[in-house]
Structure 1
């Protein structure tokens, strides 16, 4: 078999992903919403399509995406908002599955409760990629970002467990509510244990490998697959194992990894995210012909009813649940897991934004594709093609519809983070860290080190005091500002411009010397890397207090 067509397809897909990213950066539209549209357009053209293999998605694509998202999340922030995250990722997923199941059993001809719960479980967990991309671009408050992240990390485990129970009931394997609850608790606890074990092993390897960023990155790339496969081997939640491992590793990375290792790891995972997410969203659109092909056996009324129930529950239940949990008395509010001690209730604007952030993605399509063709009695799985179509419509409506309108909605709500407060916290931390460094130098001066001169300590102390003075000046400007936007400092902006000019001049001189044969390429790469790290520390334009 010739491999050239596959190479051409991959190159074309990479070109499309890069082009869409370029368009998204200039228009503000989320790439996650544009790529499925292009995938649909491609699927309608003559020629072969790539079918979605659920086992490939769940084993090779989902673990690295979840692990990368967990690394980028805050274990402390999720723990602080754990009640609300649990409310969205467990209770809301369960309610969505049950309501869709009941709707199917009552109103869809020939549908069973178990089959309805199966499609409900598939479409219940939001895939927050599109929402988070918009959230970071428009500057949503950190608490809303944490809730979207936490929900997206934890809800897949709940949904896939419910799906497994529903499939067992639909295929004639039997259903027992106590047994289903026991299975859920078992796979959840097992997934947490497996993730914790892999995170512990990763932490043991981090210190001896910290001196070699390449080896550290190889272990980092293998970690999500190790967590997933270990959990699946013991038939517990592989998704939850990956998330737990990522949260723990991300929390301990600042202590266990070297600076060079962290820089390289971040770059590697950003590239992995970019390519995998791009391919996945293109793949979603290409499933349209296969999904539509199986609808010929259903009449229009049945299709419309099934789609209406699925989309309606997904779109309506989420805001209703958020409004209900935020309006309950404080005691019941906490007991239901929809509030967090010490945290304010969500405002109406925050509830609206959080309601519209529930975009579904490839997990829903992969989950519904795992439905078996035949039950244990030898009969076809009830309404399998119809269930797949319903899931596809939900993904399309939420990913494209909500994805394209989320940014305008957030801007219309006027909901954004307090940049002034965030900049103040960062500069307070910078000042505290600099003061700790000065204290360490003072202690070093009092010790007898024959190989450390007092001049070296004085030089470093002078640099640190100058840096501390800059931080205190920024803090004074931030504290005097009444705006939620970080104020622009003309002096700071001018200093940044001067630093960029000097870096550019140094880089041009190095290139001139290389071209003149006065500097070998190996030396150029070493010196250029130094300038690259210095330039990486500068904030993006326009210069605001970082």
Structure 2
């Protein structure tokens, strides 16, 4: 058996390298297929993992400690960096409702279902598997949602829920395991442990984020900035675990704060490189994780011989049924609660579902956020609760024996139920989420988003022009440079205002097309390509060293990066 990321004895380094390269090749191939077919890679990779697991030969075993300490922190931190602290705060009620209250209720109901309907199952063991399957992993849903252009508010809710629910679930799991192993359970002690873990995790996250600000003089160097960024999630997690609080929550809070402050304290070069590094980390880790899920099939099936088929069927039905049915029921229930109770529980309010496309402005968007979710959004959120590797890692942490030396109750059955829940939601919901969103007609108002961006661009240029006036008045010798810069900014401002005029004239939520603007973009790209070709001719003829070529190519690459993929975004 091979553990991750280090191969155990009995397998050569050569074989390990070939195995890793093969996995990378599979991840790349599946990503290519997904981009061509529209199918989510997160749903395809577990199926390939299952197919591989059924073949003879070495297999990958899930080491829960390595997943929780090595894989989970960077994935959570990267997602937090990519999230909006302000948007999550704006939607905090529904995020808390889903990531805390729904997770707790899911764990409890699965536990009660096991206790009542599964022969011989204890309540503590049932709550343990309930805690493992309770937290959705938003990777698959977000990948699909972004591809079908899900509204930003929906993305924020799914993202915020995925960031915060792991801490709730893992804390609940530890309480349930303690009860199952020791045979004792105290409700007050469990609540106190949960509150202490959450509050401590938040505090640790804030401390780590502040500490990262103290070393910001080092972040001007992109390499140092990347090294510090990659180390931050592990520091936050290990510090939280060392203090016996939620390391997961510490990572999330640190990531949200750092991501919010990066535009203020980071350099442009460091931000560009850090974003590229984290995109690569996400791509590789997520790919390996979803392959890893499928390859756990032999491990979870191995211990089922001791159970009757009816017991397995009932246990699976309870687990899958609660996970699939409770989420929509919870969302619908919180929609119908009285407004006063709704406010306290963090539910969602009624909203008129007939907003005309393109009619939103800043106040309109804020008003819609305050009103909550539409019926279509509730349906989409109900189907976005895919589970992932965190559920498997959590359930694999169950001890083999209790304090008395007896086997942990129904451990193999709990493993199998968790695997089935992950597979059903990840593949079933993952493959059908995009068609559902399209059928519901849930799309972001692209024209409105483009209007906001171009309003912000115009405001930024106007602020720069005002600053130039101040500089020219205070430093007369800079007038030539100021005039040159002002002319460039005025040209840019005219372009932004032209885009705004085009967007204002469009009554659709789709981005309007502008033949003139598309032509200008095509001509600009043609000019950039001609410059690259000429630089290569200089290099090949010996007139330009490779080092100079890389510097000049980087300038052209940055210029091309500023060009929008579509007009007039």
TM-score > 0.5 by shorter chain: yes
Which residue of 78, 82, 91 maps to 2:101? 91
CA–CA distance in structure 2, aligned partners of residues 294 and 483 of structure 1? 57
| Structure 1 position 402 matched with structure 2 position 411 | no
**Residue 164 (structure 2) pairs with residue 157 (structure 1):** no
From 285, 296, 302, the counterpart of 1:287: 296
Q: Which residue of 2 aligns with 1:539?
A: 564
- Which residue number corresponds to residue 250 of structure 2? 241
1:459 to partner: Cα distance: 1.1
Q: Deviations over 1:12-71 (max 9, x none)?
A: 000000000000011111111100000000000011211000000000000000000000
Return the alpha-carbon distance in structure 1 between the equivalents of residues 209 and 547 of structure 2: 37
Q: Does 1:489 align with 2:505?
A: no
Matching residue of 1:317: 326
Post-superposition CA distance 1:305-324 (Å, at most 9, x none): 00000000000000000011
Q: How does 1:216-295 map to 2 (within 5 A)?
A: 216-295=225-304
Q: State the partner residue of 1:35.
A: 45
SS class of match (1:296):
helix
Tell me the SS of whatever aligns to 2:19: helix
Alignment of 1:106-255 (within 5 A): 106-172=116-182, 174-206=184-216, 208-255=217-264
Determine helix, strand or coil for the equivalent of 2:43.
helix
Q: Does 1:413 align with 2:436?
A: no
Cα-to-partner distance string for 1:323-364 (whole Å, 9 max, x where unaligned): 110122221111111148951231111001101000000000
The equivalent residue for 2:505 is 480
Note if 1:4 corresponds to 2:14: yes
Separation of aligned partners in 1, 2:183 and 2:90: 40
Task: Determine whether 1:308 maps to 2:302.
Answer: no
What is the alpha-carbon distance in structure 2 between the residues aligned to residue 45 and residue 449 of structure 1?
Answer: 77
Residue of 454, 459, 477 corresponding to 2:484: 459
| Rounded Cα–Cα distance in structure 1 between residues aligned with 2:35 and 2:79 | 21
Q: Are residues 400 and 168 of structure 1, via their aligned partners in 2, closer, same or farther at CA, if it must alter by over 3 Å?
A: same
Task: Give the aligned partner of residue 90 of structure 2.
Answer: 80
Distance 1:533 1:279 in 2: 31
Displacement of 1:172 in angstroms is: 1.6
Shift, 1:539, TM fit: 2.0
For residues 312-351 of structure 1, the aligned pairs below 5 Å read 312-339=321-348, 343-351=370-378
Q: Partners of 1:411 and 1:232 in 2: how far apart?
A: 42
Q: CA deviation at 1:449?
A: 5.2
Q: Tell me, what secondary structure is at the counterpart of 1:171?
A: helix
* Cα offsets for 1:187-236 (capped at 9, x unmatched): 00000011111110111112x11321000100000000000000000110
Partner of 1:16: 26
- Alignment match, 2:552: 527
Which position in structure 2 is the counterpart of 1:298? 307
- The runs of 5 or more residues in structure 2 that have no matched partner are 1-8, 350-365
Structure 2 match to 1:381: 408
State how far apart, in whole Å, the 2-side matches of 1:249 and 1:211 are: 15
Alpha-carbon distance in structure 1 between the residues aligned to 2:111 and 2:346? 24
Range 90-99 or range 339-348, more displaced: 339-348
Equivalent position of 2:460 in the other structure: 433
- Summarize the alignment of residues 54-65 of structure 1 with structure 2, pairs less than 5 Å apart: 54-65=64-75
In the other structure, the counterpart of 2:532 is 507
SS at match of 2:450: helix
TM-aligned CA deviation for residue 277 of structure 1? 0.3
State the alpha-carbon separation in 2 of the partners of residues 324 and 432 from structure 1.
Answer: 43
Q: Which sits farther off after the overlay, 463-472 or 14-23? A: 463-472
- Structure 1 residue matching 2:371: 3-state secondary structure: coil
Aligned length: 541
Q: Structure 1 residues 116-125 or 465-474, which shifts more?
A: 465-474
1:367 to 394, 406, 419: 394
1:152-185, Cα deviation, whole Å (9 max, x unpaired):
0000000000000000111125210011000000
Residue 424 of structure 1 is aligned with which of 451, 464, 481?
Answer: 451
> Scaled by the length of structure 1, what TM-score is found?
0.98
The question of 1:52 aligning with 2:56 is answered no
Mapped to 1, the partners of 2:232 and 2:183 lie a distance apart of 34
Runs of 5+ in structure 1 lacking a partner? none
Q: Which moved more, 1:350-359 or 1:440-449?
A: 440-449
What TM-score comes out, normalization by structure 2 length? 0.94
Q: CA deviation at 1:473?
A: 1.1
For 1:530 and 1:449, the matched residues in 2 are separated by 31
Q: Secondary structure at the match of 1:400?
A: helix
